[in-house]
């Protein structure tokens, strides 16, 4: 494996290999920050052409814990704001000897383009492209679900997971539907019809418009951020109505199964898709998702940069 | 069998078991470590601290081959600080695994001594590393490979030299 652009690049065995690697890395880290020499001398560029807090910091922390050199590059304050094309930027990075580029871009397919056109010889890791995919987020979500609900199994068979809210604009939802269903989970999408994309019927997931009927049936509820910055149209009458039908409040939380967990990829709109007391409750694993994100991204960097294809179970 | 002999030898050299922590290098070294710790326990009549130490992330040849699966590391609660650590591996060859293990140990703590016990020493060292306890010295050619099987995972205990000698 050279690039990580989409969950479709992975087989179930690849994905489980990454999750297992992350599990061992988490055990090594064990709360205390420890530096591993594994990627010493490698250069990883974080190319963020769109705002990000946790993904960029998470990739940076992961790379640094593996002793790679990290160069952060954001579109603001770089020549991209002077109109430099992605190609010219990529060739600059190549000339500087980047071994991997972690790219976040507002255009769907930007990471694919960077990888396909062979502008650079290193690995390309998609850290979110437009409304397309965000594979590392899906992997860390799967890791979190497996850790809490997996009962020691390597996959997610028998679990039912609801993904709720702005599916239309969500790359997190796309990657998660692909990954969670590949790992054997039963995925249900809950959203108003206006926030579901065309062709959603063909996704490996069922669809519901009635949040309250879904809540008691699932093991995990993944709330999605309402992406107002991508909304060029009126998708629901007003935020109070959205909140009433599709927001997760404490009353709805009390209808969840005892073991079920609440997830959110962040950043949250507190009071819109998720109530503040739910986000801060004991069921919420939202902060832990961030911690897991570092271990999962270390695993991704290890698999892509430490050599060739991951040989799961080999010695 | 040589595992029992090595356990005896390790105890003799260290004047008993009180400060010993046995760490096996996965996969087969970990099983050997468990066996040696069990034999020591039965000789001494008390539990011997033992665990596993994965060294994959410390290897210097990671870029030369496909990435290896990371195996579990479990350091016993008593740790390694100030103790006599006995590293256990199945085959000693280039010495690079042991170099990586010394780096990995350095991250965990500072043992008083580190000693190395291997089931098979097949020669061809590339680094200045030697074993303190050797089950069997096996002269081999570099073209051959040595395969160790253990009942815990391979359903049989055996050491096989594969390939022609030169």
Considering only A244-248, B86-90, B107-111, which range has the smallest mean pLDDT? B107-111
Q: Which residues contact B14 (CB under 8 A, 6 or more apart)?
A: B20, B84, B115
User: Residue B66 and residue A38: Cβ atoms within 8 Å?
Assistant: no
| pLDDT on residue A309 | 43
Q: What ipTM does this complex have?
A: 0.80
For A183, phi then psi, to 5°, come to -85, 5
CATH number of the domain at B2-162, please?
Answer: 3.40.50.2020
Look at residue B124 and tell me whether its pLDDT is greater than 90: yes
How far CA A24 is from CA of A64, A281, A303, in Å, comes to: 17, 28, 13
Quote the CA–CA distance of B137 and A97 in Å, as a whole number.
46
User: Residue A303 and residue B67: Cβ atoms within 8 Å?
Assistant: yes
**What are the residue boundaries of the structural domains of chain A, listed by start?**
7-133+290-305, 135-285
The residues with which B145 forms a beta bridge, in sequence order, are: B162
User: Residue A310 and residue B54: Cβ atoms within 8 Å?
Assistant: no
User: Residue B67 and residue A307: Cβ atoms within 8 Å?
Assistant: yes
> Do the Cβ atoms of B135 and B6 come closer than 8 Å?
yes
3-state secondary structure of B81: coil
Quote the CA–CA distance of A190 and A209 in Å, as a whole number.
6
| pLDDT on residue B166 | 67
| pLDDT on residue A190 | 98
| pLDDT on residue A82 | 67
Quote the CA–CA distance of A225 and A151 in Å, as a whole number.
29
* Smallest CA–CA distance from A1 into chain B, residue: B66
Angle at A267 between CA A264 and CA A273, to 5 degrees: 60
b/e string for B7-28 if b means 16 or more Cβ within 10 A?
beebbeebeebebbbbbbbbbb
| pLDDT on residue B1 | 58
CB pairs under 8 A between A and B: 56
CATH for A135-285 (3.90.1640.20, 3.40.50.1370, 3.40.50.300, 3.50.50.60): 3.40.50.1370
> Do the Cβ atoms of B87 and B98 come closer than 8 Å?
yes
pLDDT in tens, A15-32: 999 999 999 999 877 656
Look at residue B2 and tell me whether its pLDDT is greater than 90: no
Global confidence as pTM: 0.89
| pLDDT on residue A310 | 43
Tell me the residues of chain A between 9 and 68 that have a Cβ less than 8 Å away from chain B: 17, 20-21, 24-25, 27-28, 34, 36-38, 66
* Mean pLDDT calculated for residue range A60-89: 83
Considering only A6-15, A133-142, B47-56, B67-76, which range has the smallest mean pLDDT? B67-76
User: Residue B66 and residue A313: Cβ atoms within 8 Å?
Assistant: no
Overall CATH class of domain A7-133+290-305 = alpha beta
A312 touches chain B (CB under 8 A): yes
Look at residue A84 and tell me whether its pLDDT is greater than 80: no
């Amino acid at each position: 494996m050279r690039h990580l652009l989409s969950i479709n690049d992975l087989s179930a065995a690849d994905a489980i290999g990454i999750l297992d690697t992350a599990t061992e890395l988490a055990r090594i880290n064990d709360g205390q920050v420890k530096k591993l020499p594994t990627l010493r001398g490698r250069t990883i560029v974080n190319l963020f052409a769109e705002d990000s807090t946790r993904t960029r910091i998470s990739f940076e922390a992961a790379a640094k814990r593996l002793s790679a050199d990290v160069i952060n590059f954001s579109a603001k304050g770089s020549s991209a704001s002077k109109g430099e094309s992605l190609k010219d930027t990529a060739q600059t990075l190549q000339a500087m000897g980047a071994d991997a580029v972690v790219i976040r871009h507002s255009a769907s397919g930007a990471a694919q383009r960077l990888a396909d056109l062979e502008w650079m010889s290193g690995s390309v890791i998609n850290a979110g492209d437009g409304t397309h995919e965000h594979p590392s987020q899906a992997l860390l979500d799967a890791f979190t679900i497996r850790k809490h609900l997996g009962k020691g199994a390597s996959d997610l068979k028998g679990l039912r997971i609801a993904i709720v809210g702005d599916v239309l604009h969500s790359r997190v939802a796309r990657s998660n539907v692909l990954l969670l269903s590949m790992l054997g989970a039963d995925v249900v999408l809950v959203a108003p019809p206006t926030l579901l994309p065309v062709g959603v019927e063909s996704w490996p997931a069922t669809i519901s418009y009635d949040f309250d009927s879904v809540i008691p049936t699932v093991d995990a509820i993944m709330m999605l951020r309402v992406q107002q910055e991508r909304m060029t149209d009126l998708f629901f009458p007003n935020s109070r109505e959205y909140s009433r039908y599709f927001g997760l409040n404490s009353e709805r939380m009390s209808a969840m199964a005892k073991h079920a967990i609440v997830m959110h990829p962040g950043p949250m709109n507190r009071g819109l898709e998720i109530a503040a007391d739910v986000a801060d409750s004991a069921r919420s694993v939202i902060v832990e998702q961030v911690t897991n994100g570092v271990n999962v991204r270390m695993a991704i960097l290890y698999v892509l940069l430490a050599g060739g294809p991951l040989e799961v179970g080999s010695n | 069998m040589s595992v029992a002999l090595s356990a005896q030898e390790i105890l003799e050299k260290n004047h008993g078991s009180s400060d010993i922590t046995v760490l096996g290098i996965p996969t087969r070294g970990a099983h050997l470590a468990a066996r040696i710790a069990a034999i020591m326990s039965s000789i001494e009549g008390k539990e011997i601290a033992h665990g596993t130490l994965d060294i994959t992330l410390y290897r210097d040849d990671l870029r030369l081959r496909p990435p290896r699966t990371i195996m579990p590391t479990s350091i016993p609660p008593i740790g390694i600080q100030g103790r006599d650590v006995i590293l256990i591996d199945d085959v000693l060859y280039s010495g690079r695994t042991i170099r990586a293990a010394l780096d990995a140990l350095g991250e965990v703590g500072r043992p008083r001594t580190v000693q190395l016990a291997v089931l098979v020493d097949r020669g061809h060292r590339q680094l200045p590393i030697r074993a303190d306890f050797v089950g069997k010295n096996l002269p081999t050619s570099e073209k051959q490979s040595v395969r160790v099987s253990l009942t815990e995972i391979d359903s049989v205990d055996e050491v096989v030299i594969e390939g022609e000698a030169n």
